[in-house]
Amino acid sequence: MAEPTVTDDLTGALTQPPLGRTVRAVADRELGTHLLETRGIHWIHAANGDPYATVLRGQADDPYPAYERVRARGALSFSPTGSWVTADHALAASILCSTDFGVSGADGAPVPQQVLSYGEGCPLEREQALPAAGDVPESGQRGVVEGIHRETLEGLAPDPSASYAFELLGGFVRPAVTAAAAAVLGVPADRRADFADLLERLRPLSDSLLAPQSLRTVRAADGALAELTALLADSDDSPGALLSALGVTAAVQLTGNAVLALLAHPEQWRELCARPGLAAAAVEETLRYDPPVQLDARVVRVGTELAGRRLPAGAHVVVLTAATGRDPEVFTDPERFDLARPDAAAHLALHPAGPYGPVASLVRLQAEVALRTLAGRFPGLRQAGDVLRPRRAPVGRGPLSVPVSSS
Q: Which residues contact another protein (rule: CB under 8 A)?
A: 12, 14, 28-29, 32-33, 36-37, 39-40, 43-44, 47-48, 59, 214-216, 388, 390-392, 400
CB of 81 to another protein, least distance (A): 12
Query: Which amino acid, residue 109?
Result: A
C-beta of residue 79 within 8 angstroms of C-beta of residue 45 = yes
Supply the minimum distance, in Å, between the C-beta of residue 38 and another protein: 8
The least distance separating another protein from the CB of residue 358, rounded to whole angstroms, comes to: 30
Angle of helix 279-289 versus helix 360-377 axis, rounded to 10: 120
Say if residues 126 and 357 touch (Cβ distance below 8 Å). Answer: no
In the complex with another protein, the residue whose CB is nearer, 36 or 233, is 36
Which CB atom, from 149 or from 203, has the smaller least distance to another protein? 203
Tell me whether residue 321 is exposed, middle or buried, using C-beta atoms within 10 angstroms of its C-beta: 0 to 12, 13 to 18, 19 or more: buried
Strand 316-319's sheet: what is its strand order? 77-78, 83-86, 316-319, 296-300, 101-102
On whether the CB atoms of residues 225 and 118 are closer than 8 A, the answer is yes
Nearer to another protein, 17 or 158 (CB): 17
Q: Toward another protein, which CB reaches closer, 40 or 328? A: 40
Residues 6+ apart with CB under 8 A from 274: none
CA 363 to CA 380: how far, in whole Å? 26
- Give residue 71's identity as a one-letter amino acid code: R
- For residue 88, the minimal CB distance to another protein (Å) is 29
| DSSP-derived secondary structure for 36-90 | HHHHHHHHHHHHTT-HHHHHHHT--S--HHHHHHHHTT-SSEE-TTSEEEE--HH
Task: Give the separation between CA 280 and CA 269, rounded to whole angstroms.
Answer: 13
Contacts of 267 (CB under 8 A, 6+ apart): none
Q: Which is nearer to another protein, 60 or 144 (CB)?
A: 60
Smallest distance from another protein to CB 144, Å: 31
In the complex, minimum distance from the CB of residue 31 to another protein, in angstroms, rounded to a whole number: 9
Is 35 or 363 the residue whose CB approaches another protein more closely?
35
| Nearest-approach distance from CB 212 to another protein, in angstroms | 10
Rounded to the nearest whole angstrom, what is the least distance from the CB of residue 149 to another protein in the complex? 25
**166 within 8 A of 156, measured Cβ to Cβ:** yes
Closest separation in Å from C-beta 395 to another protein: 16
Angle between helical axes of 238-264 and 360-377 (0-180°, round to 10): 40
Residue 58 or 325: the one with the smaller Cβ distance to another protein is: 58
DSSP 310: E
- State which residue, 216 or 382, has the beta carbon closest to another protein: 216
Of the candidates 321, 310, 311, the residue with the CA atom closest to the CA atom of residue 286: 321
CB nearer another protein, residue 211 or residue 363: 211
Residue 35 contacts by C-beta under 8 Å, 6 or more apart in sequence?
Answer: 115, 116, 212, 213, 214, 215, 218
Q: List alpha helices for 192-275, DSSP H.
A: 192-201, 205-208, 215-231, 238-264, 266-274
Instruction: Name the minimum Å distance from CB 384 to another protein.
Output: 17
Q: State the Cα–Cα distance between residues 44 and 362, nearest whole angstrom.
A: 39
Spacing of C-alpha 258 from chain mean position: 13
CB of 169 to another protein, least distance (A): 12
Q: Which is nearer to another protein, 74 or 390 (CB)?
A: 390
Decide whether 33 or 407 has the Cβ nearer to another protein: 33
